[in-house]
């Protein structure tokens, strides 16, 4: 079974630009969660999508948005990039549903904002 | 909502034991444990659901005290491969909305 894939793996952008990151979950998984990982703040929850609907949202500004497609693939968009957005962005997929279950993480996209 | 992990870092010799703690100020539905090696994605270790259960996985086990909203991860007879950063993730609703602690960096030396 193929794991979670994320593209691109590395990105360099400048302040003010926008970026779109992509995540393909494990086949059969309907839930995709996004996390931001930085040395200072650790792993922080951005949002979670299940069956094309945003089900949960973390405490991030509206510049961070996402969506999920009918095949469960998910994209995350960050507009008007700031230096502080430099981080490793991880997505994780799980079966979803109403029970807490294990999440499988992708390798991440390393975003650098100059 | 972020859980508190302790210790922040620990160094062990092969064969020694370690305990990593995770506590939350909120009522929890479940606690998840992950290990992340440098430059890699976090890897799932185990989930503990409310009800105060204990789980084991070879020489790594964990417990969840629902009354105290605390979980502990036990690593026995540590191996070099155990090195990495351990994160606990807490779920308050059962909807997989995880809040992670800041991590415990575990280093096992020969």
Q: What's the rounded Cα separation, in Å, for the pair B46 and B27? A: 19
Structure tokens at B16: 């020694």
pLDDT digits (tens, 9 = 90+) for B62-98: 999 888 899 999 999 999 999 999 999 998 887 777 8
Q: What is the mean pLDDT of residues B102-109?
A: 95
Q: Do A98 and B94 touch (CB under 8 A)?
A: yes
Mean pLDDT in chain A? Answer: 93
On whether the CB atoms of residues A37 and A91 are closer than 8 A, the answer is no
Task: Give the pLDDT confidence score for residue A99 in this predicted structure.
Answer: 65
- Using 50, 70 and 90 to split pLDDT, how confident is the model at B52? low
Q: Which of A100, A102, A107, A110 to mutate to test the interface with B (most CBs of B within 10 A)?
A: A100
Q: What's the rounded Cα separation, in Å, for the pair A13 and A19? A: 8
Q: Is B3 on the interface with A (CB under 8 A)?
A: no
> Which residues have a Cβ under 8 Å from the Cβ of A59 and sit 6 or more positions away?
none
Q: Do A103 and B41 touch (CB under 8 A)?
A: no
- Residue B102 has its nearest CB partner, among A42, A90, A106, at A42
């Amino acid at each position: 079974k193929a794991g979670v894939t994320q593209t691109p793996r590395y990105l360099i952008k400048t302040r003010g630009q926008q970026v779109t990151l992509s995540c393909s979950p494990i086949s059969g998984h309907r839930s995709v969660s996004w996390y931001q990982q930085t040395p200072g703040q650790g792993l922080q929850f951005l949002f979670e999508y299940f069956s094309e609907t945003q089900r949960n949202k973390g405490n991030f500004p509206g510049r961070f948005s996402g969506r999920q497609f009918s095949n469960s693939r998910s994209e995350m968009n960050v507009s008007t990039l700031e230096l502080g957005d430099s981080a490793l962005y991880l997505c994780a997929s799980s079966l979803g549903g109403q029970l807490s279950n294990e999440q499988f993480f992708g390798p991440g996209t390393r975003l650098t904002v100059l | 909502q972020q859980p508190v992990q302790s210790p922040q870092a620990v160094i062990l010799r092969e064969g020694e034991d370690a305990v990593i703690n995770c506590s939350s100020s909120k009522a929890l539905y479940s606690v998840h444990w992950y290990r992340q090696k440098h430059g890699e994605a976090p890897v799932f270790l185990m989930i503990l659901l409310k009800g105060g259960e204990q789980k084991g996985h070879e020489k790594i086990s964990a417990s969840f005290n629902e009354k105290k909203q605390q979980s502990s991860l036990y690593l026995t007879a540590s191996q070099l491969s155990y090195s990495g950063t351990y994160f606990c993730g807490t779920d308050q609703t059962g909807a997989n909305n995880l809040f992670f602690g800041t991590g415990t960096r575990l280093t096992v030396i020969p």
